[in-house]
């Protein structure tokens, strides 16, 4: 299995995201498919599947940093790049929810596939 795309300049580690969520400093958007969301999620995340993201973009606060998250980091990296180009303070969570769970951070449900 190949490694997902990686861009350290616009990625945050799961621990950085957890710390910023705890401080109320970021909005977290989960771009996974509905069945992935139903299997397990980060409690503070808002679910907007990647294919709905452009239609929902106006509902994402431009005044606060946004972190996108998927299963492994590939889809969220695409979302972060697009939102950065549109002028958002946008980031991708490196390694996705799989890395979040591997680091022992809390999830609602079981995201392991």
DSSP 96: H
Longest dimension (CA), the chain: 38
Distance separating alpha carbons of residues 48 and 68, to the nearest angstrom? 10
The neighbouring-strand residues paired with 40 are: 109
Q: Which of 70, 79, 94, 97 is catalytic?
A: 70
Distance separating alpha carbons of residues 93 and 8, to the nearest angstrom? 10
Is 70 labeled as catalytic in the residue annotation?
Answer: yes
Distance separating alpha carbons of residues 82 and 105, to the nearest angstrom? 27
Catalytically active residues, by annotation:
70
């Amino acid at each position: 299995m190949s490694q997902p795309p990686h861009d350290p300049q616009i990625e945050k580690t799961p621990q950085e995201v957890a710390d910023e969520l705890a401080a109320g400093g970021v909005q977290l958007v989960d771009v996974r498919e509905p069945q992935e969301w139903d299997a397990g999620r980060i409690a503070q995340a808002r679910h907007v599947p990647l294919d709905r993201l452009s239609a929902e973009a106006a509902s994402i606060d431009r005044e606060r940093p946004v972190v996108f998250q998927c299963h492994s980091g590939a889809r969220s990296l695409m979302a972060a790049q697009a939102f950065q180009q549109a002028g958002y303070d946008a980031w991708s969570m490196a390694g996705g929810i799989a890395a979040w769970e591997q680091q022992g951070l809390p999830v609602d449900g079981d995201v392991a596939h």
